[in-house]
Amino acid sequence: MVHTEKRLADLGIVLPPPGTPKANYTVASWESPTVLYLSGHLPIKLDGSMITGSLGPGGLSLDEGIEAARWCGLNLIATMQDQLGGDLDRVEKVVKLFGIVSSKQEFKEQHLVLNGASDAMMDVFEARGYHARSAIGTNTLPLDVAVEVEAIIKVKEAIIKGKGC
């Protein structure tokens, strides 16, 4: 048995509370019997604050962007834990991450920013956390957040807490 929750504790990672939709959609995730589709998650920190702004000249630094992406990853993991009845051992594989980075035109390192979310998945899930990934830049994101990340997760079949649409 993997004991992913013990791994979180050993790494000193405290997950934020699972988020709620910020617009007109009903769930933070949608499930099929063995796949969990997670809506875009924002860089919400433990205190409820969000990392906002754009990356590039006069804006956020690469390191700040990586931190924002890591918080997106931790928020995704919190939603997984919530939707899987508190049992992250049910995560069989992180299949894909898709990340969007709020960027100034001159900023060209979106792929490096998304390492923050990727590293969170690989730290927590180890080999199960390696995944395919896409990263793009845009001139703005909802609520002025710096990064938004969504995920596709393969899970061990069992009843999932959330309701599919």
Please indicate, yes or no, if residue 33 is contained in any of the structural domains.
yes
Share of the chain above pLDDT 90, in %: 78
Please indicate, yes or no, if residue 19 is contained in any of the structural domains.
no
Please indicate, yes or no, if residue 162 is contained in any of the structural domains.
no
Q: Which residues contact 99 (CB under 8 A, 6 or more apart)?
A: 69, 72, 110, 113, 114, 117, 133, 134, 135, 136, 147, 148, 149, 150
When pLDDT is averaged across residues 135-150 and rounded to a whole number, the result is 97
Please indicate, yes or no, if residue 96 is contained in any of the structural domains.
yes
The structure's pTM equals 0.89
| CATH code of the domain containing 44 | 3.30.1330.40
The total number of structural domains that make up the chain:
1
Kindly tell me the sign of the dihedral angle through the C-alpha atoms of 72, 146, 139, 57.
Answer: negative
When pLDDT is averaged across residues 25-52 and rounded to a whole number, the result is 82
Quick: pLDDT tens for 41-56. Answer: 999 999 999 999 999 9
> Measured between alpha carbons, how far is 121 from 55 in angstroms, rounded to an integer?
22
Please indicate, yes or no, if residue 66 is contained in any of the structural domains.
yes
Q: Which pLDDT does position 18 carry in this prediction?
A: 84
Please indicate, yes or no, if residue 161 is contained in any of the structural domains.
no
The two tokens of residue 56 are 């590039």
> Measured between alpha carbons, how far is 101 from 22 in angstroms, rounded to an integer?
18
Share of the chain above pLDDT 70, in %: 86
Please indicate, yes or no, if residue 22 is contained in any of the structural domains.
no
Q: Name the residue range of residue 139's domain.
A: 4-14+28-155
Please indicate, yes or no, if residue 133 is contained in any of the structural domains.
yes
Give the pLDDT band of residue 9 (cuts 50, 70, 90): very high
Q: Which pLDDT does position 34 carry in this prediction?
A: 87
Is the pLDDT reported for residue 111 higher than 70?
yes
